[in-house]
Structure 1
Amino acid sequence: MNARESMTVDVVGVETLTPLIKRYTLALPDGAPLPSFTGGAHVLVSMQDGDVWHHNAYSLLGSPHDTRRYQIAVRREAVSRGGSAFMHEQVRVGTRLAIGTPANLFELARDARDHVFIAGGIGITPFLAHLAEHATSDLDLELHYAYRSPEHGAFVSELREHPRAAHVHCYADSAGPRLDLLELFKRLQRERPAAHVYVCGPQGLNDAVYANAALLGWPKAQLHSEQFAATDTAGQAFTVVLAKSGLEVTVGEDETILKAIERAGVSVESLCREGVCGTCEVPILEGRADHRDQYLDEDEKAAQKTVLLCVSRALTPRLVIDL
């Protein structure tokens, strides 16, 4: 299978972990093994809600050594574009979903032996598979997991029983002490200067990790991030024109180009749907894009040659793309 293929899976388990997070266990209807994956991988889940389709990417939580079932966790977003609300309200044991084959944009750095994970809230999810994959390996792994309050600390009890529990540090913001990123980097600089640091969480956490690392001159090549939610995609409605077919689609005020195109029945590959992987990058033929991705550099954004459909918008009323 390649990343474009999809599978039909049954939901065989639903567990409420916190007031906002549920864990879902997925299996093939015939019980056959699912495709292999590695720590940090995710799958794209497609959900049909009447005439509307939602497509969300979720990290795989379970051990890559056991592919009889997949596990994902979904946080109910306060302002849901449909996916998280559908999962929480309509998906139960017995529901069938379509998922893509695993893709990995958050692998451990090759040839590195020392890895430090920093997670915020639901951003813990990709690290669970990393820990499971390397539970008994000789890699040096350390996890720092920050969350709002004790009742929102999904997976804390499991982490405390993990073979790597001695190297797991949990921080409930309401109970203290809080994660001190500057002190963490100072210690790493003294004791583990070769460590690769990985962060997954809200944009504020990702930015804070990079800012504190920069204060100490931490090498950028040793920093890695994954953002669990797309940046703001709201703005004025505009028209996107698919040049190859002449199809014109209105992109709503709080809708991505990608979702608008999919709503019109056109399929476009996007592995992350969060503006980081580049798979939905297409050339711009007319108009100017409002770039909101993390993939293009500043010069590429200024050149207005391409746009990432999954998060970016338009600065002009009409955007013509080579699709």
Structure 2
Amino acid sequence: MNTTSSPGQQSMRVIAKDPLADGVVALRLADAAGGSVPMWEPGSHIDLVLDTSMTRQYSLCGDPSDTSTLTVAVLREGSGRGGSIHVHDKLETGDVIEIGGPRNHFALVEAESYVFVAGGIGITPLLPMLRAAQARGANWRLLYGGRTRGSMAFADELAEEFGENVSLRPQDEYGILDLASALDAAAPGTAVYCCGPEPLLQAIEAVCREREHLNLHIERFSPKQLEEGVVDDAFDVELARSGRTIGVGADESIIDALQRGGVTVDFSCREGTCGTCEVAVLGGKPDHRDSILTEEEQEAGDAMMICVSRSRTPKLVIDL
């Protein structure tokens, strides 16, 4: 595999590939040249550049104080876009790949108490958060569900390390997660962190809307669905640094329009889930369609993901 890094990327060697659970493998990566790995904090993810046309994002689930390796866990998704299958079937110990990042749009805030809710592979970004909360002396609990106990990565490790703080709830034994009961016991100001499949995220959003004393933080692995009847109109984008204006057609993204105009921009997922293409907004009102920014951040309107988001005004001014 290619061992030359592009700007903003780092060459990493796969030093271990180990099974974690049914359909889940862990990859441990070290700098290919023997140097240190990038610094990161709980909630961070990296890009794995799997080939010239395939880049995927995976949450870091190792120890942030470890400067020698990075660890990600990958669920094999047969109906996905091919990235996880590539990791499971083609990536081998000793291979060298490129990574981008880390980036963090799911940072752990300071709080006296936390409730962590994981569904399946959604445990990965939460794992280092649990240890950080424990180290801070905060009150915390984890509610962790999966299809079966055998499909739940890190389940035995978590139960052994944290005991009663962890509630393992495989669906075939307990049914769907009882979110209401878990959150009814949470004190005002509790930070709620949730990651997992879309039905779980929608369910916890609904539960937390009825409990305004809780502060919900979620991370999506897939893009949110748009509301029915959404119409895409053409608009203009002004690049503040050059003063240049580029038209964005109704059938293209801002990134597409910029590339058509010869403007180089950073991007990765093109789904509004990774944050690579985030830019500052200096004028106009964005039509946010990403899965990263909070409602408050979207309302502020001073940043946007140009891979999926559009404009509610005839022109946007962005910091490019």
Do they fold alike, i.e. is TM over 0.5? yes
**TM-score, length basis structure 2:** 0.75
Contact 2:39-2:64 at 8 Å conserved across structures: yes
- The partner residue of 1:165 within 156, 163, 166 is 163
Taking a change above 3 Å as real, the CA distance of residues 55 and 71 of structure 1, as seen in their structure-2 partners, is: same
Taking a change above 3 Å as real, the CA distance of residues 100 and 276 of structure 1, as seen in their structure-2 partners, is: closer
Aligned to 2:4: none
What is the aligned residue count?
Answer: 300
- The partner residue of 1:12 within 11, 15, 28 is 15
Tell me whether 1:26 sits opposite 2:19 in the alignment. Answer: no
Runs of 4+ displaced beyond 3 Å: 132-137, 239-249, 256-262, 264-267, 269-283, 289-292, 294-298, 305-314, 320-323
Structure 1 unpaired stretches of 5+: 234-238, 284-288, 315-319
**Letter matched to residue 160 of structure 2:** E
In the TM superposition, what is the alpha-carbon distance from 1:99 to its structure 2 partner?
Answer: 0.9
**TM-score, length basis structure 1:** 0.74
Taking a change above 3 Å as real, the CA distance of residues 91 and 231 of structure 1, as seen in their structure-2 partners, is: farther
- The partner residue of 1:47 within 42, 45, 50 is 50
Aligned to 1:286: none
Contact 1:65-1:133 at 8 Å conserved across structures: no
Tell me whether 1:179 sits opposite 2:173 in the alignment. Answer: no
Taking a change above 3 Å as real, the CA distance of residues 172 and 259 of structure 1, as seen in their structure-2 partners, is: farther
Aligned to 1:208: 203
Q: For residues 86-101 of structure 1, what are the structure 2 equivalents within 5 Å?
A: 86-101=86-101
Contact 1:258-1:309 at 8 Å conserved across structures: yes
- The partner residue of 2:192 within 171, 190, 197 is 197
How many Å separate the matches in 2 of 1:200 and 1:136? Answer: 21
Contact 1:40-1:105 at 8 Å conserved across structures: yes
**Letter matched to residue 64 of structure 1:** P
**Letter matched to residue 219 of structure 1:** H
Aligned to 2:148: 149
Deviations 1:249-275 (A, max 9, x none): 9x89xxx8869999x995424699534
Contact 2:30-2:69 at 8 Å conserved across structures: yes
Taking a change above 3 Å as real, the CA distance of residues 231 and 214 of structure 1, as seen in their structure-2 partners, is: closer
- The partner residue of 1:223 within 216, 225, 229 is 216
- The CA RMSD over aligned residues, in Å, is 4.2
Deviations 1:68-87 (A, max 9, x none): 11100112223222322221
Taking a change above 3 Å as real, the CA distance of residues 267 and 11 of structure 1, as seen in their structure-2 partners, is: farther
Structure 2 unpaired stretches of 5+: 1-6, 227-233, 239-243
Contact 2:43-2:129 at 8 Å conserved across structures: yes
